[in-house]
Structure 1
Amino acid sequence: MAKQFTEEDDALLAELGVEVEEKKTAARTPREERIIAGFEEIQRFVDEHGRSPQHGEDRDIFERLYAVRLDRIGEQQDCMELVEPLDHQGLLSGAQPVPVNEEELDDDALLAELGIEAEVSPLTELKHVRSSAEKRAAEEVAGRERCEDFETFKPLFEQVQKELESGLRETRPFEMKAEIEKGRFFIVGGQKAYVAEIGEMTLTDQGRTDARLRVIFDNGTESNMLMRSLQRALNKDEAGRRITDPTAGPLFSDDMIDADEASGTIYVLRSKSDHPLVADNRKLVHKIGVTNMSVEKRIAGARLQPTFLMSDVEVVATYDLYNINRTKLENLIHRIFAPAKLDIQINDRFGNPVVPREWFLVPLNVVDEAVERIKDGTIGGFYYDVNNARLERRA
């Protein structure tokens, strides 16, 4: 460890005839310090990614900045001489320097070369940096016009919202451009977006595919944006999501694979209650529920429970479930048959009035059909017609 000498030490050494020389370090200008710091950032990028930074609009903004900075360093003789002793990665090999240029390597100037505006000058605070491509994408999303035939699409948005609430559809983070297809729904800028049309596929100057879209938004507007513009908007929006198609996945035992785990059972019960409303419609009154225990255990002591109409019940159908959210599935079934919900009030064993849930005036064959349509993912296109006691296809 180097010893730091005090003034008294210096005096004592002087009496011994020993001269103390101060170690001098070469002072660097602020510009030189900035160039070295910038070059070290490039080196850290190379250490992390195993390659030099590359140009291109699809690259991260900092990578593009490093690529331009490296080019500028390699073009200026004084910059080359300054950082060459540090270049253990050979980043400057093959560079062709030109005579010294006193122009500083200013980050704002480098960003300007990329067509980027920085609202905050320090590199570490580029929170509002937007490329020209990003600005074009934002303008396309924002540049909407009134959708003249929105009444055609409005029912689609209403149906999607119902299916989201019931669990038939889900929202998931947007991942790749391949997810953008005709008929798909997304959430961007806080609004649902429907891809109504996709034009002819073309190639960009960078050799990437693109196409003109007709995108309808749930606020009654539309935009003829590019596919890559929608992609960028979804990637930029932290809340951007894609809405899954209405498929329930492997629900039932005949779809079971080795990796599946049983999640529960849909049960359909018929009441033995002597309540006049039940007795007069016994073949139609059914309780439909979902449980993760055995049905026998679920209905044990039914005559003591208001949810079972304070009466014994008969199990008329069961359907085993696999890899499914029981709560969402139960909500979906109840939403389908909500128009036929049984309006009945009974007293519990303490004499308190109770309105039981999960009882419906629905024929058993219609329950079977609904389960099959949940299974094959087509239930979203149907509703329960109370007057005709059957599932009808939506217009």
Structure 2
Amino acid sequence: MARFTDEDDALLGELGVEVETKKHARHTPREERIIAGFEEIQRFVDQHGRAPEHGEERDIFERLYAVRLDRLRAQDDCRALIEPLDHQGLLAEGKRPRPGFSEAIDDDALLEQLGVTATTPSDISQLRHVRSAVERQEAEEIANRQKCEDFDRFKPLFQQVQAELDSGFRRTRPFELKAEIEAGGWFIVGGQKAYVATVGDIFTNPQGRTDARLRVIFDNGTESNMLMRSLQRALNKDEAGRRITAPVAGPLFAGEAAEGDQASGTIYVLRSKSDHPTVAANRNLVHKIGVTNLSVERRVAGARLQPTFLMADVEVIATYKLFNLGRSRLENLIHRIFAPARLEIEILDRFGRPFVPEEWFFVPLKAINDAVEKIMNGTIGQYVYDPKQASLVQVPNLSSSDRSPPP
């Protein structure tokens, strides 16, 4: 039917013809939102050929539309409003809400449950912080840790790695590739050092990507059986996330300097002639380990007057020439290696003041020689010092399924 203009209406009025003006119904803001929401559902059906469905594996928008459709079906006033628009039969009888449906839930409440926030109120077309079901599972894996029952096996490793970081034998680097995650790997994630103790069998996940289940030990005594991609994602998202490099020793010692090498000091091992009861009773085990850029003879001159030498003369037991490495870094490393065997005594200096020496250890000379050799060949990171055995012991192969304690 043709619509009359204002001029047509005036002409008809002059001719005595009454024109019935049909007033268009106006919707309340709530009704307009209901209609707009239903039209979004209809567009989804046009694009996908089906009604939106529930399920963790479904897209966030589809899940939202499914809940919205349940709500519209359940409320009589909503059904009455949109039935004239329902050319797809979405409100047909028999299509009732799923069990457990709550009419009270709205878009914002659902988004909150799904861990999503909208950029503007009631605007689901613009979302931020959208996490898929897989991402939420990964986040839960990282957060849900359990106590590591055999942490005593791993604690020396964490101490060793920290010592090697302090000495410069290990460094931290930005995490880049999933391939860097392997058994024996070290990382910093969430402000904690993490050790990949085991890597399970490689498999293909539902997204067609390779993955594996890990056993990750954290320096606070907890562990997590997270997926490799969970750890990868956590490292990528953590601005402070890092990988810890393997120890690199380089040319530290030599009987003679090679061409281009620069001498940087001497490591010395001393034995005290002190009459302190503890020292006297363990003369062959109590050693001082230090580093100097002087001649060793000059360094120990006047030892009987220095509390660092236990106020007694000393005997030089061994020396090692140091090339191309900072003295203090290497000294710190050696001291940390033998920290579990540090001598705990207090002596008085020549003024009667108490002094606790820090460079003396209950360590046999063989263990010191062994440590120096392993620093030279770059394998020291695989060993820890065991005071009970008075020797360096190799860290067990934690990449295997054997979780028995070290020998």
TM-score (norm 2): 0.53
| Contact 1:164/1:170 (<8 A) preserved | no
Instruction: Provide the rounded CA distance (Å) in 1 between the counterparts of 2:192 and 2:318.
Output: 41
Partner residue, 2:379: 377
What is the number of residues matched between the two proteins? 267
Question: Once the two structures are superposed, what CA deviation does each residue of 1:235-258 show, in whole Å capped at 9, x if it has no partner?
Answer: 221110112335544432379776
Instruction: Provide the rounded CA distance (Å) in 2 between the counterparts of 1:300 and 1:281.
Output: 23
Partner residue, 2:181: 180
Question: Once the two structures are superposed, what CA deviation does each residue of 1:230-282 show, in whole Å capped at 9, x if it has no partner?
Answer: 33431221110112335544432379776655443321012344555545543
Partner residue, 2:303: 302
2:251 is equivalent to residue 268 of structure 1: no
Distance verdict in 2 for CA 1:367–1:325, change over 3 Å: same
Partner residue, 1:164: 161
How far apart are residue 317 of structure 1 and its match? 0.9
Amino acid at match of 1:140: E
Q: The residue matched to 1:253 in structure 2 has which SS?
A: coil
Question: Once the two structures are superposed, what CA deviation does each residue of 1:47-96 show, in whole Å capped at 9, x if it has no partner?
Answer: xxxxxxxxxxxxxxxxxxxxxxxxxxxxxxxxxxxxxxxxxxxxxxxxxx
| Contact 2:371/2:380 (<8 A) preserved | no
Q: The residue matched to 1:151 in structure 2 has which SS?
A: coil
Instruction: Provide the rounded CA distance (Å) in 2 between the counterparts of 1:177 and 1:352.
Output: 56
2:353 is equivalent to residue 352 of structure 1: yes
Distance verdict in 2 for CA 1:324–1:151, change over 3 Å: farther
Partner residue, 2:26: none
State the percentage of identical aligned residues: 52
How far apart are residue 161 of structure 1 and its match? 2.3
Q: The residue matched to 1:216 in structure 2 has which SS?
A: strand
Partner residue, 1:252: 253
How far apart are residue 288 of structure 1 and its match? 0.9
2:227 is equivalent to residue 225 of structure 1: yes
Partner residue, 1:9: none
Instruction: Provide the rounded CA distance (Å) in 1 between the counterparts of 2:137 and 2:308.
Output: 55
Partner residue, 1:241: 242
Amino acid at match of 2:211: A
Distance verdict in 2 for CA 1:171–1:346, change over 3 Å: same
Instruction: Provide the rounded CA distance (Å) in 2 between the counterparts of 1:174 and 1:259.
Output: 34
| Contact 2:147/2:223 (<8 A) preserved | no
Comparing 283-292 with 332-341, greater Cα deviation is found at: 332-341
Distance verdict in 2 for CA 1:272–1:331, change over 3 Å: same
Instruction: Provide the rounded CA distance (Å) in 1 between the counterparts of 2:163 and 2:372.
Output: 14
Instruction: Provide the rounded CA distance (Å) in 1 between the counterparts of 2:244 and 2:224.
Output: 18
Question: Once the two structures are superposed, what CA deviation does each residue of 1:137-182 show, in whole Å capped at 9, x if it has no partner?
Answer: 4651334586789435x34542332123322654332233331222
| Contact 1:250/1:256 (<8 A) preserved | no
**What RMSD over aligned residues (CA atoms) do the two structures have, in Å?**
4.0
Q: The residue matched to 1:383 in structure 2 has which SS?
A: strand
Give 5+ residue unaligned stretches, structure 2. 1-115, 121-126, 396-405
Q: The residue matched to 2:160 in structure 1 has which SS?
A: helix
| Contact 1:182/1:198 (<8 A) preserved | no
Distance verdict in 2 for CA 1:166–1:224, change over 3 Å: closer
Distance verdict in 2 for CA 1:385–1:263, change over 3 Å: same
Partner residue, 1:140: 138
Matches within 5 A, 1:26-105: none
Partner residue, 1:93: none
Instruction: Provide the rounded CA distance (Å) in 2 between the counterparts of 1:318 and 1:306.
Output: 21
Partner residue, 2:216: 216
Instruction: Provide the rounded CA distance (Å) in 2 between the counterparts of 1:234 and 1:273.
Output: 53
Partner residue, 2:320: 319
2:149 is equivalent to residue 151 of structure 1: yes
| Contact 1:385/1:392 (<8 A) preserved | no
| Contact 1:186/1:192 (<8 A) preserved | yes
Q: The residue matched to 1:167 in structure 2 has which SS?
A: helix
TM-score (norm 1): 0.54
Distance verdict in 2 for CA 1:183–1:262, change over 3 Å: same
Instruction: Provide the rounded CA distance (Å) in 2 between the counterparts of 1:255 and 1:155.
Output: 41
Distance verdict in 2 for CA 1:148–1:276, change over 3 Å: closer
Distance verdict in 2 for CA 1:292–1:211, change over 3 Å: farther
Q: The residue matched to 1:270 in structure 2 has which SS?
A: strand
Instruction: Provide the rounded CA distance (Å) in 2 between the counterparts of 1:226 and 1:392.
Output: 29
| Contact 2:271/2:288 (<8 A) preserved | yes
Amino acid at match of 1:364: L
Give 5+ residue unaligned stretches, structure 1. 1-116, 122-127
